[in-house]
Amino acid sequence: MSSSSFFIPALLLVMPAFYTLADEDTTAAGDSPNRNLTGFESLDEKQPLWEVGIGGGMIEVPNYPASKERNFVGLAAPYAIYRGDIFRIGGDGGARAVFLENERLELDMSFSGAFSADSDDNTAREGMPELDYMFEAGPQLIYKIRDFSFQRGGNGRLTGRVQARAVFSTDLGDLHTRGYVFEPTLRYQQRGVFFDSTGLSLAFRMTWATEKLHDYFYQVDEAYVTSTRRQFNAKGGYLGSEVSLGLSFPVMNKVRGFLGTSLQFNQGAANEDSPLYEKDVTYSIGVGFVWRAWESEARSNW
């Protein structure tokens, strides 16, 4: 595994030390460990129970882990966020059903997804089945390690989370199971990084997956063998690590912009000998916006 994988967790823990800390912020009851500090509201400001508006952006990502071919997606669409006590939709946490929550701990059932990739445009997978839309569902445990309040202004939060999810793929016709993933994540957020309403998010994630998901990305059956692509039997195990950085900033009243980038470190992956494994390090980059058009007068409890 790359030394970068060990450097980032240390960075996340040391970052707050570069600021002069005030007394640690005592969190009021009902403050969610998963509350996003990069959005419209500050840490001590209650969020609306629901909001609707328009969101959009562009993102460029690898077609699959360790792929040198890339997928560009541009999208603008209505969005809705609901922040109920149990059911929560939209925002940084995706869709969730919360089973247990207190000032430091949250246990929920969460969901996420990814866009499809066209194998015809990918030289390594040319002639192979396309990679369909994917989504995940499973339990997630979030622990709030510490909140920070800075004398120069701003709030910070360090959280750890563990996800264990089932993975599915679909071409919007058929649905296929693709095994399971296990992902521990360490995340630091800070509000007031450059200006009062600017937010920062920095995270480090490691991923392990069962053989079925590795098969989906890296298996080469006899029917797909070519002069440049040998047969390969994939196995389960370590899939890779990711370091991500995001910035959130105000554009105008009710509009926030977002910039994000990440590096994926694939060295040491269980199937780095596959002919479909192409790069040790890949990256993603994106830009987006959210316009909050309407919001409820009622506030959420977290």
Q: Out of 19-33, 53-67, 111-125, 250-264, pick the least confident.
A: 19-33
Q: Is the dihedral of CA 43, 45, 48, 52 positive or negative?
A: negative
pTM of this structure = 0.85
Architecture of the domain spanning 4-295: Beta Barrel (2.40)
- The DSSP 8-state label assigned to residue 300 in this structure reads -
DSSP run (H or E) holding 10: helix 4-14
- Identify which of 32, 25, 34 has the alpha carbon closest to the alpha carbon of residue 154: 25
What pLDDT sits at residue 17? 34
What pLDDT sits at residue 94? 78
In the structure encoding, which two tokens stand for residue 5, read together?
Answer: 């994988």
Q: Out of 5-9, 41-45, 233-237, pick the least confident.
A: 5-9
Residue 45 pLDDT > 50: yes
What pLDDT sits at residue 118? 64
Domain ranges (residues) in the chain: 4-295
Question: How far is C-alpha 288 from the chain's CA centre?
Answer: 15
In the structure encoding, which two tokens stand for residue 80, read together?
Answer: 């809705």
Burial 56-68 (b: 16+ CB within 10 A, else e): ebebebbbbbbbe
How many CB atoms are located within 10 Å of the residue 244 CB? Answer: 18
In the chain, the amino acid numbered 266 is N
Burial of 201 (0-12, 13-18, 19+ CB in 10 A): buried
What pLDDT sits at residue 185? 97
pLDDT per residue over 101-147, tens digit each?
A: 988 999 999 888 777 766 665 679 989 988 999 999 999 999 999 99
What SS3 state is found at 67? coil
What pLDDT sits at residue 19? 35
